[in-house]
Structure 1
Amino acid sequence: MGREFIDIFEDWAEDYDHAVSGHDPQYKAVFADYENILHEVAKASYGNVLEFGVGTGNLTDKLLQAGLQVTGIEPSPAMREIVREKLPEIEVVDGDFITFPNPTIEIDTIVSSYAFHHLNDVEKEQAVRQFAEMLPVGGKIVFADTMFESNVVKENIIHDSMQKGYTDLVDDLNREYYPIIDDIRNIFERSHFDISFKQMNDFVWLIIANKK
């Protein structure tokens, strides 16, 4: 999961829950309808769940409330510490989308929220190939992440954010690997997934992919 961004994860750890609650104007649109987004990921998941980019454990909590067994992967030591305090019953281990400990149980669903964009396109492809090898037929990938319908839409959002003075958000949009939907569709289809998209807010889309 884009280990080059680890310093950003560490800096965000203490403030992340404040931002997702809508208290940071720069990120209010990014996290609009946040609780429902996490609910939709949990609702689409089943069985034994492997969660990448656990962050501060907000999606993890929703998955546990849904009665699912969760193994968490998180590269940030600061965020792992927060999750262990919030949810001491959950196992959260060091790892990322590419390099992570092999699960000790068969995984039915792989989930993530607000994290897959930290991988470049080559890494995204590599990660999805690995997931395809891990999941059984009918296994699912359920991601909620920032992506855009086209480069034009992305550039318009960057321009609007600059006009509003949202310099931190603009820096994020220019620095990280926010994908175009058609590129994501192609990556998943090349690894033999059926995939659907649902827009959740101006930035975030829900991906549900089923292994053929």
Structure 2
Amino acid sequence: MALALFDLDDTLIAGDSASLWLEYMVAEELAPAGMVAEEQAMMSLYHQGKMDMHQYMAFTLQPLAGKTRQWLDSLCTRFAEQVLRERLYPQGLARIDWHRKQGDTLVLISASGEHLVTPMARMLGMDHCIAILLDEEEGLLTGQTRGTLSFREGKVARINQLFGGLDDPWQGSFGYSDSHNDLPLLQAVALPHAVNPAPRLRQAAEQAGWPCLHWQLVEEKVQ
């Protein structure tokens, strides 16, 4: 049994779940339209490797403050079915199925919030889900996070926390991601894979000799 660690955004799905979620909330009149431009400016910093994830989460979770977990889970399940399901890469689904047949432990690990990642983990039949945890008090969301953020080195820390009982959880492990922000994770696994890699990850993958996988929503036509 080996760990098979899959990033979500721009790896298993075409697009970023948090950005799509904000657009969904605006469309549902649950968030002000002006948040979209500011969120996109923050995402630009993410792609440059300069994002402050605590700041990003505090900003994007504002509309959820005071809401119940039950309300949010219901809405996010519907969002996953209506918006994210059709964005799943068939090649990613096939790779998950291959690992499942090998008896590997499937882990969806993301720097998006647990409210977005958990319904996708259920949809994909993953064994474990690691995402940024949402804080709550007296049954209501505070709009803040808790614990170690599963971002950059935080992903490695969260894996070590979850699988600390194993002698070496990284032995024989697989990793799949599109972003240079996941270099700490990809460098920790035994068998890293760059999926539709952004330029900085592609360069690192080529230098390290890692496989670069090209996943897409529609199969290319044979000429």
User: TM-score higher than 0.5 here?
Assistant: no
TM-score, length-scaled by structure 1: 0.43
Structure (1 or 2) with the larger CA radius of gyration:
2
TM-score, length-scaled by structure 2: 0.42
